[in-house]
Amino acid sequence: MAERQYVKISVEERVAIITIDHPPANAFNGPTVADLDSAFDEVTANPDVKVIIITGAGQFAFVAGADVNEIKSQIDLARAGQPVKTDLIEKGQQLFAKIERSKKPVIAAINAVCLGGGNELAMSCHIRIASDTARFGQPEVGLGVLPGWGGNLRLPRIVGRGKATELILTGDMIPAQEAARLNLVNKVVPAGQVVKTAMDLAKKLVGKSALSMAAILETIEYGLNASLEDGYKKELEKFSYLCSTEDGNEGVSAFLQKRQAKFTDK
């Protein structure tokens, strides 16, 4: 595994845990985004990894947003009549799109404060589990800017246009329980249990067919941006493909024989 300053990786029972560790608030700056991008590529390419968990180190934050000093540097450039450097924004957008389109399930284990870029990261994950002490928000409006890593796009898709507009325009934070009510998170668990809960779920997914899970994730992602008719075509394509796989045969045979399926991801 490569050495990274702000992101750590551990692999256990075919589950990779990516931990963002940039004290004190796990804020995103250029090196942290680069480390996360590199780490995600590493675990995605690892054939021994079937499920990925992303979490934050410490008790204060999952990710408390972008490094405001980096935003200020772009403001200074603009005020001096210089072009704003959009590299970090573009890299964050590309990284979160990569996570969202991952063929391996990605679970966000949200251990604490989840703001700005942290919330945008969480929304790019397929499943979100939150500590009951977590807080969520897109506070960029208070800085005179706007979410730049997909917050304006994903939040309305998840919680609805009206509520998303309110949250983005006000910059208000909401507690984990409210986030669950809005379907922003799947489950709320006691503080200190979020990674364990994510790991329990990940181990359940490890027992499923990697081919089936990848096809499901791809079809869901495709369907969110396609017509219903095109979505049906994608389902048919993926269903036909899975019927031709060893895992498809194994799963159906195991059901008919009343035994536990043993998938080989082939």
Are 139 and 118 spatial neighbours (Cβ–Cβ below 8 Å)? no
Q: Phi first, then psi: give them for residue 129, nearest 5 degrees.
A: -115, 130
Given 70, 90, 100, 140, which residue is catalytic?
Answer: 140
Question: Quick check: 25 and 66 in contact, CB under 8 A?
Answer: no
Q: What tokens were used for 227? A: 């017509």
Is the CB of residue 100 less than 8 Å from the CB of residue 124? yes
**Number of neighbouring beta carbons within 10 Å of residue 112:** 25
Is 140 tagged catalytic?
yes
224 CB-contact burial (10 Å; exposed 0-12 / middle 13-18 / buried 19+): exposed
Q: What whole-number distance in Å separates Cα of residue 85 and Cα of residue 82?
A: 9
Per the residue annotation, which of 3, 90, 120, 250 is the catalytic one? 120
Q: C-alpha distances in angstroms, 227 versus 126, 150, 222, 239?
A: 21, 22, 9, 18
User: Within 85-209, where are the H helices?
Assistant: 87-100, 117-124, 151-159, 161-170, 176-181, 194-206
Query: What is the Cα–Cα distance from 116 to 161, expressed in whole angstroms?
Result: 18
* Cα–Cα distance, 203 to 75 (Å, whole number): 45
DSSP for residue 63: E
Instruction: Read off the DSSP letter of residue 140.
Output: G
Residues that are catalytic: 120, 140
